[in-house]
Amino acid sequence: MSATDTTHGAGASAHGTWTAAPGNGGTPPDAPSSGGAGIPPRSVAALIAAAVLVVGVVVLVLVLGVARPPALPTVAEQPDPAPPASVAWTRWQEGFACVDTLAPDGTVTEIACDLQGEEILAWDADGIALWVWGPREMVEILDPATGEVVDTRPASGQLLDERPMDALRVRHDDGRLTVQLRDTGEVLWEVDAHANYRVREGSLSPDGEWVAMFDSAGRLLVAPTDGSVEPRVWHEDDEQWQSPVWEGTPLPDVTAD
């Protein structure tokens, strides 16, 4: 005996009719065997497949787009030409700032820690100059060999104004990253890169012939400004927060405010 489905009201006409099989109590063939409300097995399988697909896409985006920055050689792998001097930068460690130095051969030295967010201004013959924020605002000079404070200077807002500006101009265009020198417009580096990949502030060496820069993958890159060699990975540090300062960068001679 045939029957027309009336359990869904007017909506049934949009889906046609079904014929009840003998002995199944008028249940459509693809309904759950236990009767009552539920999701058909085929729908469950489709939902699982869709979820797996979404997760797979997300993983591919994260792995290929973020976790895999442009491949670059390291300074250790390709030591020539060698960086001309050391650099210093600050990084976070358990809520405090630390100062690290990096030698041309790749040796990293932590010279001071437990700082309160001090910012490196210069590194000249007197030592590494740190701007100390807060009530005791001043400039401290650290011995790069021991990390000891060997001198203090009056704080001056002019010191902050005289800090070297970002040496780079960076743009993304249809999956292509272009890094230029801000002063001259010369192209330092062009590479295919994910839109999430970034090159942060760059610092020129005192002679203007080299640039050091951190990227969004936590790599400290170094390259000659003439573009003769692509950037190389000098060091990796995920906790850095200030662009590197080259050894030989002088502290501006200004009068305290």
pLDDT digits (tens, 9 = 90+) for 187-230: 999 999 998 999 988 999 999 999 999 999 999 999 999 999 99
User: Is residue 132 classed as helix, strand or coil in its secondary structure?
Assistant: strand
- Tokens coding 226: 């003439």
Would you place residue 51 in the very low, low, confident or very high pLDDT band (cuts 50, 70, 90)? low
Give the rounded distance of the alpha carbon of 106 from its chain centre: 21
Q: For the residues 18-22, what does the mean pLDDT come to? A: 42
Query: How far is the C-alpha of 168 from the C-alpha of 200, rounded, in Å?
Result: 8
- CA–CA dist 189, 142 (Å, integer): 34
Of the candidates 11, 35, 69, 74, the one whose C-alpha atom is nearest the C-alpha of residue 198 is 69
Q: Distance (Å, rounded) from C-alpha 80 to C-alpha 168?
A: 23
Residue 8 has what pLDDT? 42
Write the pLDDT tens digit of every residue in 100-158: 999 999 999 999 998 877 889 999 999 999 998 877 789 999 999 999 999 999 887 77
